[in-house]
Amino acid sequence: MSNAPHRVGLVGYGLAGAVFHAPLIATTPNLRLDAIVTRDPERRAQAQRDHPGARIVDSTEVLWQLAPKVEVVVIATPNRTHVPIARAALEAGVGVVIDKPFAPAAAEGRVLIADARRRGLLLTVFQNRRWDGDFLTVRRLAAAGSLGAIFRFESRFERWRPTPKPGWRERGDPHEAGGLLYDLGSHLIDQAITLLGPVVAVYAELDRRRQGVQVEDDVFLALTHRGGARARLVVSALAAQPGPRFRVLGTEAAYVKWGLDPQEDALRRGERPTTVDWGTEPSARWGSLGTGEHVQPVPTEAGAYPVFYAAVGAALSRGGPPPVDPGDAVAGLEVIEAARRSAVDRTVVRLD
């Protein structure tokens, strides 16, 4: 077996490609950021500065023809392009990492899974917030029994952005898969399913609160999980004072956590996940565990986004499982589709 790093192609060098994927790939020991696809002259220049060893090309057609060939391609482009680029990559014999959301529709995701399986190629989804430090802390407390049986999981991702930004995320065309339900909602739904298991019922309120917007910017989801627990998920672009990031109620105790995981801000500042204190939070930001007035601070687990690409490298080297099963992403899309039906009919939609 060769010890050479696996060659990775990155399609798209906007926020997702430049800030999240490229730094994580470049700092993963057994991966090499070999090629970047972007047409924009400014982004091409930035990519060359950031990663001088990478080949910069202007189309995926050129990417498939490069020699030596990339082994896996990371798709960090607008949502409407995820499926066609992934399909073309699989046809070219290249494995695929897709930024969330996996696809605009669950049916399209199922077709991609079947195609990758038939060809024996890697297919996974960048659900990086499974490795947020606060969510890792929730999972640790749940596994240790510190909460008892969890019966309610409240999760929020709220921002104050009263003026909409132009771009495809704000377009109403369903093929764009824009709006907060697909964007941040994909993360919260994935975390809820990861923690509590399959969803059997969905109730949703999807609203447009800012003037002139074409897509939802204020979202509430009520999920019932097969095991009986309920999740309450809130995403908003118009939260002048956000609520707690997590409030997890169990039969023995509750855990409450404020503030967002620090990894995104660190990446935006240009920091790289190679420092010994990567993803750590100061004690002032720790959450609390307990009952009533008897609560104590709980150290937040260190955030661990690098785990995702380390697992991609392991899957390429040893044929192991992907870091995120794409079937989980399809389950999340089924919840999103049920939420859209629920919001129109004002009813609970069953998935079982």
Specify the CATH number for the domain of residue 285.
3.30.360.10
pTM of the predicted structure, to 2 decimals: 0.95
Number of domains in the chain: 2
Residues 6+ apart with CB under 8 A from 124: 96, 97, 98, 312, 315, 322, 323, 324, 325, 326
Is the same domain home to 89 and 136?
no
> What pLDDT, on a 0 to 100 scale, did the predictor assign at position 173?
76
User: What is the rounded average pLDDT for all residues in the chain?
Assistant: 95
Is the same domain home to 169 and 295?
yes
Is the same domain home to 137 and 84?
no
Whether 41 is in a domain gets the answer: yes
Is the same domain home to 163 and 293?
yes
Per-residue pLDDT reduced to its tens digit, 39-72: 999 999 999 999 999 999 999 999 999 999 999 9
Residues 6+ apart with CB under 8 A from 279: 133, 261, 262, 263, 266, 273, 302, 303, 304, 305
Task: Tell me which residue range forms the domain holding 262.
Answer: 130-305+334-350
pLDDT higher than threshold 80 for residue 169? no
- CATH number of the domain where residue 89 is located: 3.40.50.720
pLDDT higher than threshold 60 for residue 309? yes
> What pLDDT, on a 0 to 100 scale, did the predictor assign at position 212?
86
> What pLDDT, on a 0 to 100 scale, did the predictor assign at position 164?
86
Percent of the chain with pLDDT over 90: 91
Whether 259 is in a domain gets the answer: yes
> What pLDDT, on a 0 to 100 scale, did the predictor assign at position 144?
98
